[in-house]
Structure 1
Amino acid sequence: MTTDPRAGLLLVMQHADSAFPSGGFAFSQGLEASSLLADRFGGFEFEPYVRTQLIHRWTCADRVALVRSHRMKGDLARIMELDAEVEASTAIDVLRHGSRRNGMAFLTAHRRLGCAPADDYAKLVRAGQASGHLCVVQGLVWHDLGVGEDAAVAISGYQCVASLATAAVRLGLLGALEAQAAIARLHPLVATLSATPIEDDEPLAAFIPLAEIAVLMPDASGQRLFSS
C-alpha cells in the first residue's frame, strides 16, 4: 500500500490496462451472441447494449459483489460465502462459467506476481471449495494491493465498457476510433452509477433477459470468437 497519490494512480492505471493478463478482455458478456442474433431482437446498437449491461448488471450485481468483497478485507470464509451467492444468482451457465474462468485467470496472474491472498484463494477454487467469480476475487486482491474501494469500482466499470468495446471491434461492429468515442461517451454513466451507495449486505440483482436469451440460442454461423 502506498500513500503517494501518483503511485496510487499508476497502480490503478496498471490494473485497468487491457494488457494486464487477467482474462477479462476475452469475455463478451453476450455481446457477440446478441449481435449475431440482431435480426431476431430488432437490431443491434452498441451503446444501448452497453448501457443496459451497466445499469442492469454491472451496477447492481458485479459492482455490488466487488464492493462487498473489498470490504471483507481478506476474510476468506466470508468471501467464500459471497462467492457462493454470486454462483447461485448467475442463472446462465455460459455466463457463470465465463466469470469463473476469468476469476481463475485473474487469481493466477496475481499469484504469480506474489499476491498471497490470490494464492490462498486459488487453492480453495482448485479444491472445489470456492467458485472464484471475477468480481469477488477482484475485491479480494485489489484490497490487498491497496487499491481503494472507489478506485476498484472505477477500474471495474471502465473494464466493463472497454472489454465490450474491444469485443465489438474484434467482431467488426465498430472501428477502433468509434469504440474510443463510445467509451468516452459512456464515462459519465459509469461515474454516476459508481456513486450509488452500497450496503454491506446489499443483495445481488441483475436483469438482462435479452442478452441471456441470446447467449443460450444457437447462431447461424456455428462459430464464435468469444465463449459468451
Structure 2
Amino acid sequence: MNRAPTTLGSSLLALQQADSFFPGGAVAWSWGLETLVTDAQLGTPPATPSGRRPRGIRHNRSEQVRAFVEGQLRHRWNSFDRAFLDAAWQAADDLPTLMLLDAQVEALTLAEELRQGSRRVGQSLLGVHAALGTPGAAPYQHQVVAAATPGHLPVVQGLIWHQLGMHREHCHLAAAHGLCTALVSAAVRLGVMGHVDAQRVLTDIQPLLLELLDAAPCTLDEASGFTPMAEIAVMRHETQPLRLFAN
C-alpha cells in the first residue's frame, strides 16, 4: 500500500479509517454505555419532585449521551489515548519504542475490562491492516501473537496510520471522530435514541472536538484518564444477565 503524502490523500485515508464501515472491531464495545442504560443511569429522563418522569424525553436522552461522549473525549481520549497515539505515530519505525508505549498503556489502564477492550480493538485493527498488506502491520502482529506486546488501540493507530501516510493531525481527528461515532452508534443500538438524534450529538460535539484538537496533545508524563462512572460500569458489565456488547 503506497503512502499518500498529500493533504488530500491523507484526508481521504482519514475518512476511510474513521468510517464506521471500516471493520476495526469497535462496534462490539459500548465502553460502559450498556450497563449505564441497564441501570437507568443513562437514557432515562430525571424524575420530577413528584417522582414522575417528564414527557418529551428525546432531548434529555440526547443531552445525556452528549455528556457521556464529552466525558470520554475530555477525560480519557484527549488526556490519555491521544498522547500514546501521537507518540506511536512519531515512533512508527521504532519497534522497541512502540512496544514500550504498548506496555505503558497496559500498566496505566487500571480496569481490566478497559485493557481488554483496547487490546481487542487494537488487535482487530491490526489484523485488518495485516490482511490489507499495510507496511508494519504484519511484523507488529507477530509480536502480539507471540505475547511480546499487547497491541493496544492508540499504539496500533499511531503505527498503522503513520505507515499509511496519514498526516499527524488527521490521525488525531480520525481517532477522535471514530470514538464519537462508536459511542453514539452504541446508544442507537441500545435504543436510547434514534439516528437523527445521534447525528445531532455528533454535530453538537464538533466545537469541543475542534477545541481539543487545536491544542497540542499532552506529554506521556502527563497522560491520565479519569472516567470513574464509565469505568465502574465497564467492570460491572460482566454481571449483567443480558448483554448486547462485549463491554
Query: Match for 2:170: what amino acid?
Result: A
When the two structures are superposed, what TM-score results if normalisation uses the length of structure 1? 0.93
Q: CA deviation at 1:202?
A: 4.0
Does the 8 Å contact 1:72/1:79 carry over to 2?
yes
Match of 2:139 in 1: 120
Match of 1:176 in 2: 195
Report whether the alignment pairs 1:92 with 2:111.
yes
| Aligned-residue identity in percent | 37
| Cα distance in structure 2, aligned partners of 1:29 and 1:198 | 22
Q: 1:14 aligns with which of 13, 16, 24?
A: 16
Report whether the alignment pairs 1:47 with 2:66.
yes
Does the 8 Å contact 2:106/2:115 carry over to 1?
yes
Unaligned runs of 5+ in 2: 47-60
* Superposition map of 1:1-228 within 5 A: 1-39=3-41, 45-198=64-217, 201-217=220-236, 222-228=241-247
| Cα distance in structure 2, aligned partners of 1:218 and 1:136 | 25
Per the alignment, do residues 178 and 76 of structure 1 end up closer, same or farther by CA in structure 2, a change over 3 Å counting?
Answer: same
Q: CA deviation at 1:22?
A: 1.0
Per the alignment, do residues 178 and 79 of structure 1 end up closer, same or farther by CA in structure 2, a change over 3 Å counting?
Answer: same
Q: CA deviation at 1:223?
A: 1.1
| Cα distance in structure 2, aligned partners of 1:90 and 1:76 | 21
Q: Deviation string for 1:135-164 (max 9, x for gaps)?
A: 110000000100011000000110111000
Larger Rg: 2
| Cα distance in structure 1, aligned partners of 2:153 and 2:246 | 15
Please report the RMSD computed on the Cα atoms of aligned residues, expressed in angstroms: 2.1
Query: Match for 2:7: what amino acid?
Result: P
| Cα distance in structure 2, aligned partners of 1:207 and 1:199 | 15
Moved more, 114-123 or 166-175: 114-123
Moved more, 41-50 or 6-15: 41-50
- Give SS of 1:212's match: helix
Query: Match for 2:176: what amino acid?
Result: G
Query: Match for 2:17: what amino acid?
Result: H
Query: Match for 2:31: what amino acid?
Result: Q
Does the 8 Å contact 2:122/2:152 carry over to 1?
yes
Per the alignment, do residues 29 and 75 of structure 1 end up closer, same or farther by CA in structure 2, a change over 3 Å counting?
Answer: same
| Cα distance in structure 1, aligned partners of 2:45 and 2:75 | 19
Q: Deviation string for 1:98-149 (max 9, x for gaps)?
A: 1111111001000011113110111000101000001110000000100011
Moved more, 63-72 or 191-200: 191-200
Q: CA deviation at 1:188?
A: 1.1
| Cα distance in structure 2, aligned partners of 1:190 and 1:102 | 22
| Cα distance in structure 2, aligned partners of 1:154 and 1:63 | 10
Per the alignment, do residues 209 and 96 of structure 1 end up closer, same or farther by CA in structure 2, a change over 3 Å counting?
Answer: same
Does the 8 Å contact 1:36/1:219 carry over to 2?
no
Q: Deviation string for 1:143-199 (max 9, x for gaps)?
A: 010001100000011011100000000000010111011101111111111122135
Per the alignment, do residues 224 and 5 of structure 1 end up closer, same or farther by CA in structure 2, a change over 3 Å counting?
Answer: same
